[in-house]
């Protein structure tokens, strides 16, 4: 039997619909439009693509979305000054930092500067720390997208063997924590892992965010497993994930495609987080 291909766009629509309903309720109550700002540094084509998709989604559901754009040679100090202005601007409900950012700027410093109540990405240390201790927090968008896929597919997490290939601050580490909070046995592999197949072959759920096209073939995967492909690579035919679909399709049970899998759900989760920061601030003001 061929694997079920998860329709990421459909899940994204459900999340956006829920977000839109929530937004409408809040707007009715407070009569203030949600207003978010994205900071974009340099000219990366994948940034432009994400921004375009997000702006479109914001427009559809009625969130005001504007950009602060900086050239590649902007100083860290200048970005920090802009973030502080956005922090203290009462009209702004959320701040988003578009990745990638140039090497001379520390992502950690920027995330520490973003007000934890306006932190759409959930990557301010206070928010990520709340995620670690299992406290209600803003969850980083890509890990949240993975959780949403498992939730909509009614996949049990507790006791499952889950393998993540990625140990970044934005994807692998927070995702591992979120899965541990749900009692999965969790292994985190990465570029320094010596025996990757030994891990992946036992994964009931394999989450891959490598960025090497078609690297994961059938000898990497467990019979009947669920694969979530977070990888995005560009080639002449468009974008490709980490998984060689044709190789694995008769061995596994479910898979998210690239494009049309994790990507649109991540955009929807960023909308969901925008509404969470907007609600936080409205409720804070009200008390």
Site residues (CB under 8 A) for a second copy? 108, 111-112, 123-130, 132-135, 158-159, 161, 167, 169, 172-174, 176-177, 180, 183-195, 198-199, 202
Length of the chain as a residue count: 287
Instruction: State the minimum distance, in angstroms, from the CB of residue 64 to a second copy.
Output: 29
CA 146 to chain centre: 8
Instruction: State the minimum distance, in angstroms, from the CB of residue 177 to a second copy.
Output: 6
Nearer to a second copy, 80 or 132 (CB): 132
Side-chain half-sphere exposure of 87, counting CA atoms within 13 A: 16
Instruction: State the minimum distance, in angstroms, from the CB of residue 207 to a second copy.
Output: 14
Instruction: State the minimum distance, in angstroms, from the CB of residue 49 to a second copy.
Output: 26
Nearer to a second copy, 19 or 164 (CB): 164
Instruction: State the minimum distance, in angstroms, from the CB of residue 123 to a second copy.
Output: 7
User: Could you give the dihedral angle defined by the CA atoms of residues 262, 265, 267 and 272, in that order, rounded to the nearest 10 degrees?
Assistant: -140
Separation of alpha carbons 203 and 201, rounded Å: 6
Separation of alpha carbons 99 and 9, rounded Å: 22
Instruction: State the minimum distance, in angstroms, from the CB of residue 170 to a second copy.
Output: 9
Instruction: State the minimum distance, in angstroms, from the CB of residue 186 to a second copy.
Output: 5
3-state secondary structure at position 249: coil
Residue that the structure tokens 């008390």 belong to? 287
Nearer to a second copy, 62 or 159 (CB): 159
Residue 103 DSSP symbol: T
Nearer to a second copy, 128 or 268 (CB): 128
Helix residue ranges, H only, 35-163: 45-61, 76-88, 107-113, 125-132, 141-152
Separation of alpha carbons 193 and 188, rounded Å: 9
Nearer to a second copy, 3 or 79 (CB): 79
Instruction: State the minimum distance, in angstroms, from the CB of residue 40 to a second copy.
Output: 21
3-state secondary structure at position 281: helix
Nearer to a second copy, 192 or 287 (CB): 192
Separation of alpha carbons 18 and 129, rounded Å: 26
Nearer to a second copy, 256 or 280 (CB): 280
Nearer to a second copy, 70 or 111 (CB): 111
Residues 6+ apart with CB under 8 A from 98: 38, 39, 40, 41, 47, 50, 51
> What is the enclosing helix (H) or strand (E) of 198?
helix 196-200
Residues paired with 146 in a beta bridge: none
């Amino acid at each position: 039997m061929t694997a079920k291909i998860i329709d990421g766009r459909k899940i994204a629509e459900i999340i956006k619909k829920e977000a839109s309903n929530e937004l409408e309720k809040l707007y009715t109550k407070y009569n203030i439009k949600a207003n978010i700002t994205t900071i974009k540094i340099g000219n990366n084509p994948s940034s432009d693509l994400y921004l375009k998709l997000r702006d479109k989604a914001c427009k559809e559901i009625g969130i005001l979305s504007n950009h602060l754009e900086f050239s590649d040679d902007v100083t860290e100090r200048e970005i920090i000054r802009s973030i502080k202005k956005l922090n203290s601007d009462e009209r702004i409900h959320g701040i988003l930092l578009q990745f990638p950012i140039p090497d001379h700027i520390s992502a950690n410093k920027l995330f520490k500067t973003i007000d934890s109540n306006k932190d759409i990405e959930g990557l301010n240390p206070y928010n990520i720390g709340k995620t670690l201790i299992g406290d209600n927090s803003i969850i980083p968008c890509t890990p949240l997208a993975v959780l949403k896929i498992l939730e909509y597919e009614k996949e049990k997490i507790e006791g499952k063997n889950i393998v993540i290939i990625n140990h970044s601050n934005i994807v692998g580490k927070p995702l591992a924590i979120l899965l541990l909070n749900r009692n999965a046995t969790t292994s985190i592999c990465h570029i320094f892992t010596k025996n990757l197949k030994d891990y992946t072959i036992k994964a009931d759920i394999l989450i891959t965010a490598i960025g090497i096209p078609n690297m994961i073939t059938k000898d990497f995967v467990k019979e009947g497993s669920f694969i979530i492909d977070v990888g995005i690579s560009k080639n002449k035919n468009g974008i490709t994930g980490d998984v060689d679909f044709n190789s694995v399709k008769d061995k596994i049970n479910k898979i998210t495609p690239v494009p049309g899998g994790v990507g649109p759900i991540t955009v929807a989760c960023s909308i969901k987080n925008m509404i969470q920061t907007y609600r936080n601030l409205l409720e804070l003001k009200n008390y």
